[in-house]
Amino acid sequence: MVLKDTGLAVGEIMLPVQGFEKWAVVACDQFTSQPDYWRGVEDYVGASPSALRLMLPEIYLEDSDVAERETGILHKMKEYLENGVFKTYHNAAVYVQRTTGSGVRHGLVAMIDLEQYDYQRGSTSLVRATEETIASRLPARVKIRLEAPLEMPHIMMLINDHANDIIKGLENHTGRMEKLYDFDLMMGGGSIRGYLVDDADLLCGLSHRLNALKEANDGFLFAMGDGNHSLAAAKESWNHIKPGLSDSERASHPARYALCEIVNLYDDALKFESIHRVLFGVNGNFIDEFSALLKRQSVNAVSQTGSSDDAIEFVFEGCAGYLKLEGLCGRLPVAVVQKALDEYLAMNPAVRIDYVHGDDVARGLAVQKGRICMIMPVFDKRLLFHTVVRDGALPRKSFSMGHAHEKRYYLECRKIRVE
């Protein structure tokens, strides 16, 4: 069922028959410099069916057995499908209540029409990227999606609902919904509760309200929150498949859609956090070299003794300081910083960068010799839609929707291949 003119559809959703606590695992792009976290997940899951077996945590991407792991994921997907691990719900969406330290976040898991999505900078499509899409990161992801029988979303999209009552309003109807799950998430992820949304009248009401929101935002309805490259890979995969299909096949093919969770930008529990930069293998000249690269953008980095909205805290081998950015002229601090870092990394190929959630985690990683962390200023979430309309997609890793443990956990699944 398509929610007319919204770019959303409801369809097949698959959930594990049992064992939710060991099934649900945080998004693969989290805790990328914290191997202890992922060892803890492995120990907790053990031999139980788990989403951990259907994805590759990015911390392992540089390991020598990546190809073997990817092949194992495809085999495990087929095994789970054949062994009755899943229960399938048809013509369905899921209303999600996720409880974290920030409160209860409300979401709607449904399918997004990839025909309504364009990740190119300056796009005017219904669904738009909020951060730069790195083309080189797509081919490997596309290859995996083309071969995979299932998808699991960690994609989160945002709507610009100032009144905060379109998705949150679903809580008033849970009395007539089937509760699908209600459990604590592993590794300090809080708890999550999900309800089946399959009532035609309720879905039609959602469609009407989303269309009104689309009109109020000049046709810009969905902004990417998390999972930008996953959605871009789904788009490219669909572009590869659709030329070989008839018109009727294109209209209903499962690969035309991607499962995601829709969340309101103004949800009270949705907190935007900065994503910090940690560099490994730098030398004592970094600050001078970095400041010189900023000057190429007509930005001066001036040392100061305390924090401010336009200052970056840096920690080098355990010693802290602040750089105030002068001459931004309306540009976001993260934009000029990332451009300078990209140039620095190009000139210093032995240096590695990681993008880290949490001030204390970033500072802790910079204690060792040859490491520096840059604590980025807070991003005001209220500016997101306006900035994307004005400037196009932001630099990659410009913001995070909550801390790492508050990210979406893999939970719902969907078939994306025609048998």
Q: Which residue, 174, 16, 164, 13, is CA-closest to 95?
A: 174
Can you give the residue range of the structural domain that contains 46?
A: 2-271+403-415
Cβ neighbours, 10 Å, residue 324? 16
Average pLDDT score over residue span 36-40: 97
Element (H, E) at 14: strand 11-16
Verify that 19 and 93 share a domain, yes or no: yes
What's the confidence (pLDDT) of residue 212? 96
Look at residue 18 in the predicted model and tell me its pLDDT. 95
Residues 352 and 238 in one domain: no
Q: Judge if 255 and 298 occupy the same domain.
A: no
What is the count of structural domains for the chain?
2
In a domain, 385, yes or no: no
**What's the mean pLDDT in 218-238?**
94
Q: Does any domain span residue 387?
A: no
78 found inside a domain: yes
Q: Is residue 252 located within the same domain as residue 325?
A: no
Segment among 11-15, 29-33, 296-300 with least mean pLDDT: 29-33
CATH code of 361's domain: 3.30.1760.10
Q: How is 294-327 classified by DSSP, letter by letter?
A: HHTTT-EEEEESS--TTEEEEEETTEEEEEEEE-
The answer for residues whose C-beta is within 8 angstroms of residue 327's C-beta and 6 or more apart is: 298, 299, 300
| Claim to verify: residue 330 and residue 252 sit in the same structural domain | no
Buried b (16+ CB within 10 A) or exposed e, 339-368: bbbebbeeeeeebebbbbbbbebbbbbbee
Containing H/E element for 72? helix 66-82
Contacts with 139 (C-beta within 8 Å, 6 or more apart), sequence order: none
- Looking at residue 305, its pLDDT comes to 83
List 272's β-bridge partners, or say none.
401
Paired strand residues for 366: none
Return the pLDDT at 2: 79
CA separation (Å) from 279 to 90, 131, 210, 317?
47, 21, 42, 11
DSSP state of 268: T
Query: Which residue matches tokens 């960068």?
Result: 353
Spatial contact of 337 and 277, defined as CB atoms under 8 Å apart: yes
Give a yes or no: residue 384 inside a domain: no
On whether both 319 and 239 belong to a single domain, the answer is no
For 286-303, what is each residue's pLDDT tens digit? 999 999 999 999 999 999
Cβ neighbourhood burial of 144 (10 Å; 0-12, 13-18, 19+): middle
Please give the Cα distance from 58 to 31 (Å, whole number).
9
Q: Among 85, 78, 81, which residue's Cα sits nearest to residue 20? A: 85
pLDDT in the model for residue 393: 83
pLDDT in tens, 309-360: 778 999 998 889 999 999 988 788 888 999 999 999 999 999 999 999 888 9
Measured CA to CA, the distance from residue 104 to residue 269 in angstroms comes to: 6
Q: What are phi and psi of 312, to 5 degrees?
A: -110, 130
pLDDT of residue 62: 85
- Whether the predicted pLDDT of 403 surpasses 90: no
Asked if 303 and 350 sit in the same domain, the reply is yes
| This prediction's pTM | 0.87
Domain-located, residue 36: yes
Residue 192 Cα distances to 21, 180, 181, 267, 292, angstroms: 10, 10, 8, 16, 47
Closest CA to 94 of 22, 231, 194, 2: 194
DSSP 155: -
Token digits of residue 229: 């490259």
pLDDT on residue 176: 94
273 pLDDT more than 90: no
- How, if at all, do strands 117-118 and 127-128 pair? parallel
CB atoms within 10 A of CB 288: 10
Q: Per the domain annotation, does 106 fall within a domain?
A: yes
Helix (H, G, I), strand (E, B) or coil at 246: coil
Q: And the tokens for 3?
A: 């929610």
pLDDT value at position 45? Answer: 98
Read off the tokens for 190.
Answer: 């809080």
Strands 127-128, 222-226: parallel, antiparallel or unpaired by DSSP?
A: parallel
